[in-house]
Amino acid sequence: MALRERAMVSLRSVPSLPKHVRIQYDPVRQAFAVLSPEKVFWPNEISLDILRRCDGRSTVGHIIADLAAEYDAEQEAVAADVIAFLQEWSDKLLVKL
């Protein structure tokens, strides 16, 4: 029995995309698609910016700081959004923590 547990996002988590999920530019629709088994997602710009940083090297803390700088926004506000987004995507097994 594989003893797996629900992963919870923390600032030290290092998110990556699992093997069954990939981001791909679709030239027909001229947009980025997230491909997963059975489903195709069309992320908005902010979601895409988060997902692109899920590279298996950057911590969540680092991703938040990076995005706050890029969007010229408060770290706290960015943190709440990023953590909620990653938890939701992790719960759907679309992001690995």
Partner 1 sequence: MSEPLLPPIGMLAELTHRCPLQCPYCSNPLELLKANRELDTQTWLDLFSQATDLGVLQVHLSGGEPTLRRDLEQLIAGLSARGVYTNLITAGIGIAEGRIEAFADAGLDHLQLSFQGARPATTDRIGNHRGSHEKKLETARRARAAGLPLTINAPIHRHNIEEVPEFIDMAVSLGAERLEIANVQYAGWALANRNALMPERAAIDRQADIVAAARERLTGIMNIDFVPPDYFAIYPKPCMGGWARDAFMVTPDGTVLPCHAAQTIPSLRFERFAERSLADIWTDSPAFNAFRGTEWMQEPCRSCERREIDWGGCRCQAMAIAGDAAATDPVCIKSPIHARMALLIDETRRAAADISADEAFIYRRIGAVTELA
Measured CA distances, 21 to 12, 43, 72 (Å):
22, 13, 30
Q: Which two three-digit tokens encode residue 25?
A: 């530019």
DSSP designation for 19: T
Question: If binding is defined by CB under 8 A, does position 22 make contact with partner 1?
Answer: yes
Handedness of CA 6, 50, 21, 85 (dihedral sign): positive
Binding test (CB under 8 A) with partner 1, winner from 10, 16, 40, 52: 40
Footprint of partner 1 on 58-97 (CB under 8 A) = 90-93
Q: At 80, give phi and psi (nearest 5°).
A: -60, -45
Question: If binding is defined by CB under 8 A, does position 33 make contact with partner 1?
Answer: yes
With contacts defined by CB under 8 A, how many residues of the chain interact with partner 1? Answer: 23
Binding test (CB under 8 A) with partner 1, winner from 26, 70, 74, 76: 26
Residues that bind partner 1 (CB under 8 A): 1-2, 4-7, 18-20, 22, 24, 26, 28-29, 33, 35, 37-38, 40, 90-93
